[in-house]
Structure 1
């Protein structure tokens, strides 16, 4: 069953190569990142100092940028669970359990690939003026974190001193990827599960609500909501390893995400047994 499920997940991944909506999604995200990182490249040119290119965790730690990144996840899974005529044939041949497991694998894979692509692109954007041979984070990152240089160059996100004081660049980018991957998977699984039980538009509403939860926590409901807001838990800057504040720590955040994902997977497997499968167009 596992092999069939993986094949089903790979079939869904291959649709990225034939449907232009996926290309449009990545083009929009890449253009936004290029425009946002451009001031750092300009700073490197003016100072003659190269930067460490592992800066995606600072970009995604900004709640506005996180909103845009997670909105891309909602767009990515907007029509889940996708079933066309060939998909219906796959269900008949493989069985519902293998099919739903394949869709779950696809959501995890797609979430990981989405952020891996964006992290790699962010590195490529900075690499013409970047180097991995910096001493720790390097002069550029330390200057942006400890002075008002970010405001002077109109950088649209903060280079958080908390992150550079707690983690090495490779530790930070790894933890950033894990947190964002789990957050994106929760959004995708929520939309998938809701769409299985109700209608496609309902899953879109729930996915959007999860994304907006981070904005509500930041502006209205307070930081205590961070502990149960998947989109907030995707931001490395929210983590509090010392447990001295009301913010979540890494272990609690990962446990919460894994627990929620486990519940969503179980509910989806149960729901698919009782729900009629409808053919949908991939738009």
Structure 2
């Protein structure tokens, strides 16, 4: 019998283990370093021109192909130990039932994906300090970078991300932030459920391989894939949908539409979740000791 209190308990147990899991601290440190690499130059530019920058830079996180590889590897690392079994799992499963336990793991992936996305957003803002100001508008600095991409070079500042015009022209800062947050969360959730499902159905390492394949497709799509197959390659590249720039917002190109991307991601998440629950409830429990190095 499904019990939501019990399901939340199973998810909460996993969240409480973060404090003693070095891997989580490693991921947090990498995200901070990643944000510094991608966005710190904007703070330098704001200081050079004497105008503070607004914090709405997150939509421009995934604008370079290599960043998809970094994002894919980091997200795979986050969920690499799915289905999150350890020496305490049998005792918890006896008290909660196998069905509630596995649903708790899926809820954990949902919550973790949200927190993972929120941390990326927070770090993208933190690295802009001390040249940061809050405003509901895009602000003069981001608009200047969008309409005059060469302006940082005038101050001998090298840019490591692209502040592109279409998003600023089509969306308000709040709209772009919410859309980018939602897409990032949904793709991260897809990756987590993908690893979980493959590990449950085919065994450990299969989930890592599946996630690695989709990560490589995202990187391949921007270079060889686009040259060989055109924009159609983006239809089979879910990681590309993390960025607003790889979706067609005006039905004017052959890129996937937001509706197509969201429908595919949501459908895949639901399908893989159902398969995971059914298979896990029928198979023997494989418990592995969680090592502190993880």
The two structures have a TM-score, normalised by structure 2, of 0.91
Counterpart of 2:280 (choices 272, 277, 281) is 272
Question: Cα RMSD between the aligned structures?
Answer: 1.5
1:195-210 paired onto structure 2 within 5 Å: 195-210=199-214
Displacement after TM superposition at 1:216 (Å): 1.4
The answer on whether the counterparts of 1:9 and 1:103 sit within 8 Å (CA) in structure 2 is: yes
The answer on whether the counterparts of 1:217 and 1:224 sit within 8 Å (CA) in structure 2 is: no
**Residue in 2 that maps onto 1:144:** 145
**Residue in 1 that maps onto 2:46:** 44
CA–CA separation in structure 2 for the residues paired with 1:196 and 1:150: 49
The answer on whether the counterparts of 1:145 and 1:160 sit within 8 Å (CA) in structure 2 is: yes
Structure 1, unmatched stretches of 5+, are none
Counterpart of 2:122 (choices 106, 120, 123) is 120
CA–CA separation in structure 2 for the residues paired with 1:103 and 1:278: 15
Q: Does 1:59 align with 2:61?
A: yes
The answer on whether the counterparts of 1:66 and 1:235 sit within 8 Å (CA) in structure 2 is: no
Displacement after TM superposition at 1:235 (Å): 0.9
Equivalenced residue count is 282
CA–CA separation in structure 2 for the residues paired with 1:47 and 1:124: 20
The two structures have a TM-score, normalised by structure 1, of 0.95
Displacement after TM superposition at 1:190 (Å): 0.9
CA–CA separation in structure 2 for the residues paired with 1:182 and 1:263: 14
Give CA deviations for 1:96-134 in whole Å, capped at 9, x if unaligned: 110110011111111110110110121122142121237
CA–CA separation in structure 2 for the residues paired with 1:27 and 1:268: 31
CA–CA separation in structure 2 for the residues paired with 1:210 and 1:90: 33
The answer on whether the counterparts of 2:31 and 2:123 sit within 8 Å (CA) in structure 1 is: no
CA–CA separation in structure 2 for the residues paired with 1:200 and 1:240: 36
Displacement after TM superposition at 1:69 (Å): 2.1
Q: For the structure 1 residues 61 and 108, does the alpha-carbon distance in structure 2 shift closer, same or farther, using more than 3 Å as the test?
A: farther
Counterpart of 1:183 (choices 184, 187, 209) is 187
What secondary structure is seen at the aligned counterpart in 2 of 1:277?
A: coil
The answer on whether the counterparts of 1:191 and 1:204 sit within 8 Å (CA) in structure 2 is: yes
Structure 2, unmatched stretches of 5+, are none
CA–CA separation in structure 2 for the residues paired with 1:188 and 1:133: 34
Displacement after TM superposition at 1:48 (Å): 0.5
**Residue in 1 that maps onto 2:267:** 259
- By percentage of residues, which structure has more helix? 1
Structure 1 residue ranges, 4+ long, deviating more than 4 angstroms after superposition: none
Give CA deviations for 1:152-179 in whole Å, capped at 9, x if unaligned: 5211111111111111111111111110
Q: For the structure 1 residues 150 and 180, does the alpha-carbon distance in structure 2 shift closer, same or farther, using more than 3 Å as the test?
A: farther
What secondary structure is seen at the aligned counterpart in 2 of 1:233?
A: helix
**Residue in 2 that maps onto 1:226:** 234
**Residue in 1 that maps onto 2:253:** 245
CA–CA separation in structure 1 for the residues paired with 2:72 and 2:88: 29
